Homo-oligomer: A and B are copies of this chain.
Amino acid sequence: MINLGHGADVASMMLKYGKRENILDFSSNINPYIPENIDKYILEGLNLSTKYPDVEYLNLRKNIGNYLDLDYEYIIPGNGASEIIYLLMKVLDGPVGIVNPTFSEYERAAKINNKKVIDLYFGKNFELDINSIKENINKFKSLFICNPNNPSGNVESLIEVLEILKKKNKFLIVDETFMEFVYQNEKYTLVNLIKEYDNLFIIKAITKFFGLPGIRLGYGITSNKNIISKIWEYKEPWTVNSFAENICGYIFKDKKYIERTKNYFRKEIKFMIENLNKIKNIEVFESSTNFILLKLKKYNSSYIKEKLFVEKNILIRDASNFKGLDTSYIRVAVKKREENEVLINALKEILGV
């Protein structure tokens, strides 16, 4: 009924290949470790859920504002990053440039809202191609870049792009959903430039880093008053539930958890890349975040996806439907060490060492 071409298709794979237990899901890029005491905060949220959430989410926005050291008025809460993406496509000026290959919801949201899409592409090894942005700059009014990019995993410095767009009166939207996984992300995030640049909008979420996609909390950040007021004008009421509202009083203050997570992924991505590089018939792309893009040299993506699922109970992301990629690409998440070892061994068996 809804065809998004996303990773989390455990249900549809089971429909095809039969019901299975304990599938190792490497297709979703989710931190496998959630913050401590979440159960306590969730039960606290249950009491709140007998009332409507505050339609303006004042406390929630203040908690996020404190986390980012920003004025709460710059924060727009949403039902995951996706609500923010759809709201943006309602209020932004088009045409909308999208740098591919990337998260498919930008394009879907643009099309649903009748916005013309201008496809741009990352360069060699998925590095940012400033020239292509410069060359195409008159074709779009707003530009979407995912940073670190999904599915390629690279993180880029976007200050030059921001400056170029500013000069041309264009709007930059950066999806930093995966930014917190990046070691020394302060070098790459544009959050600290929000006040200074009113042509900047950042999308974030607790989905990936805090490991809670099912709780549905994302947020948008901008100092552009026109965009803020337009979004509130179009925003549907109460889209963030009481559980999400409540945990934000806690998780952002858990500095230990945040540090531990960053350190874990720094170490683990290195381990994964080293070991994946020992496997035959694949090219491994460098990643700064919690997933890795792989290029298959011999088999195609659907064959490997099926083989891993049927024979190894492992689900990976067939990345062939990302614009700009093809049937030689797959994407795998970085999970717990023992799970990552299972994946590496399975790929070794199938692809050779």
Cα distance A53–B8 when bound, in Å?
9
Chain B neighbourhood of A6, CB < 8 A: 52, 55, 237
A82 touches B30 (CB 8 A): no
Counting chain B CB atoms within 10 Å of each CB, which of A32, A42, A48, A211 scores highest?
A: A42
* Distance, CA A292 to CA B244, complexed state (A): 32
Distance in angstroms between the alpha carbons of A296 and B297 in the assembled complex:
78
- New A-B contacts (13) at CB < 8 Å, excluding given A1-B229, A52-B214: A1-B56, A2-B235, A2-B237, A4-B55, A6-B55, A10-B51, A28-B52, A32-B50, A49-B213, A79-B238, A82-B237, A105-B237, A215-B242
Beta-carbon contact of A52 and B236 below 8 Å: no
CB of B50 within 8 A of CB of A212, answer yes
**In the bound complex, how far is the Cα of B237 from the Cα of A86, in angstroms?**
10
Which 4 A-B pairs give the minimum distances between C-beta atoms? A214-B242, A49-B214, A8-B52, A1-B232
The size of the chain A interface, using a CB distance under 8 A, is 57
**A233: chain B residues within 8 A (beta carbon):** 112
Choose from B8, B10, B241 the contact partner of A216 (Cβ within 8 Å). B241
A192 to B25, CA, bound (A): 41
Ordered by A's residue number, 14 sampled pairs between the chains whose C-beta atoms are within 8 Å are A2-B55, A2-B235, A2-B237, A6-B237, A11-B56, A25-B51, A39-B43, A50-B212, A51-B213, A52-B214, A109-B236, A214-B241, A214-B243, A215-B242
Q: Are B50 and A211 in contact (CB under 8 A)?
A: yes
Considering only CB atoms, which chain B residue lies closest to A45 in the complex? B214
Q: B-facing mask of A44-76, CB < 8 A → 1, else 0?
A: 011011111111101000000000000000000
- Asked if residues A241 and B243 are in contact (CB atoms below 8 Å), the reply is yes
Question: Which residue in B46, B52, B54, B214 is a CB contact (below 8 Å) of A50?
Answer: B214
Is there an interface contact between B112 and A213, defined as CB atoms closer than 8 Å?
Answer: no
User: Given the known A-B contacts A43-B39, A56-B2, are A49 and B215 also in contact in the complex, defined by CB atoms under 8 Å?
Assistant: yes
Report which residue of A28, A32, A228, A238 has the largest number of chain B beta carbons within 10 angstroms of its beta carbon.
A238
Q: How far is the CB of A176 from chain B (nearest CB, A)?
A: 19
Most buried by B among A2, A11, A25, A244: A2
Q: Which residue of B lies closest to A90 (CB)?
A: B112
Confirm or deny: A299 has a beta carbon within 8 angstroms of a beta carbon on chain B.
Answer: no
Q: B-contacting residues of A (Cβ < 8 Å)?
A: 1-2, 4, 6, 8, 10-11, 25, 28, 30, 32, 34, 38-39, 42-43, 45-46, 48-56, 58, 79-80, 82-83, 86, 105, 109, 112, 211-216, 228-229, 232-239, 241-245
Within 8 Å CB of A54, what residues of B?
Answer: 11
Q: Is the CB of B237 within 8 A of A216?
A: no
Determine the chain B residues whose CB is within 8 A of the CB of A109 once the complex forms: 236
A191 → chain B, closest Cβ, in Å?
21
Instruction: Assess A236 versus B42: contact at CB under 8 Å? Given A52-B28, A212-B49.
Output: no
Also in contact, A51 and B4, with CB within 8 A (given A42-B43, A43-B42, A243-B241): no
B-side contacts of A8, CB under 8 Å: 51-52, 55
In the complex, what residues of B have CB within 8 A of residue A232's CB?
1-2
What CA separation (Å) do A48 and B213 show in the bound complex?
9
Kindly list chain B residues whose C-beta atoms are within 8 Å of the C-beta of A86: 236
What residues of B have a CB within 8 angstroms of the CB of A244 in the complex?
A: 241
**Is the CB–CB distance between A215 and B236 below 8 Å?**
no
Which of A1, A45, A86: most chain B CB closer than 10 A?
A1
